[in-house]
Structure 1
């Protein structure tokens, strides 16, 4: 009996040690109540943490982005977004969930990699645009909560972020016209397939797969705004933070099925990829197959 108790205590201690390590130095660091190895700067709208060695110090520039993000989304941050600036690549990769330049977590925290800060310093990317993109995620994550944030449509999350940050046509992201041309050339990622096990089965003949998909989703958001108005987009966006069924919410707000909208959108792209006009009301005849949301 005593031996069993010792083993149980040992197991608990080991598991506790592992969890403490993960929260302080591993993949759960984004959710840690304690931030070790970073200096804290609390500003009017945000909290900036930076590792020793970070040369970027214009924190006020980041802080001014928060009101702009809130204005576009017509939502206020429930708590100041926390942005962590890394100087050490190994530390970033150990604590981040991806190798991307930036990473936004379901609790609203944002990580900025050392190479992203360097690229911004060298003028390769706009730090303001990228941080604005991540702040869009952070804001929606805060309003969704952990569970609903995990279930929020991934394509819409990225489409709104790119659209609101005016990111199309900057850095590696193709602009609207270029994205239209690529879609006309039989490139299309069905939104519901994005971030699923079937995503890799969709072939895309594009230079940068990720940036194309993000611009494609931003084009869908742009289409919804131009055709139905931004107010409906915001209602759609906010309703989904409550964990509501996507297809039901879309139909209630837009008066059409999501798949039907995608068919109309792709026809609109085909029409406007061939002309200089982008009249959103100039639509071709309806397609006969409403489920044709895959590659043309």
Structure 2
């Protein structure tokens, strides 16, 4: 049953673990798993355990999938929390809407395995997909930190000489770990999911004391967009990371890359995940599916 954005915001205010500065890594991971349990997967999509690029993954087989079309999904969670399990619901809906089978990668995260482990895992997964798929039959997608990872891994794959995928889908992507952009201040009060304190904590866990937030594979909004594939960027106007999405779209356009930036009014961070409750979330997923299908069938 649909509820309004005001009720979604009330739910976010009541959620404590993600915003608790004293919560441990384990508590934050458990909190995200519990929160996403209500985001159920499509019953018609078959989900099974798999391995991709030497890492565990979940494989999604949709009845709507066109043979040979693939989605590589990189989950969000600040490079520290989250997993294919927390994102099985949203991935099932996106791949079904796109008409593609999907792999959701369990890439390595901090603090156990800091940068560049996650980027290396994502590139290895894409490289393995290319053994059985043409690049034009693959979309790479991700939300929040996973959106940043999708962009960074595409840049690293390009720099390694790999052909680019058909497109990138970036949902509320965290693409500049320096936290620059006006929205980090202007949207701070409106954003009920993200704060500077939380972002600083995730950066510390992901990079460690010697990390370089200017590294383009860490903050891909600072990188070279030459030769990148077409991009779809969706972002809510009520989130601190709004500026990151705008920066990506501007840099992509300046590099003559086809980019579609969708700014959804009043929507929170990764609002697509609220598809059980919000019509706008389902509409956004439908647009992702249509855009992805168009890229895969060019």
Q: Output the TM-score relative to the length of structure 2.
A: 0.26
Q: Higher strand fraction: Structure 1 or Structure 2? A: 2
Larger RCO (alpha carbons 8 Å, 6+ apart): 2
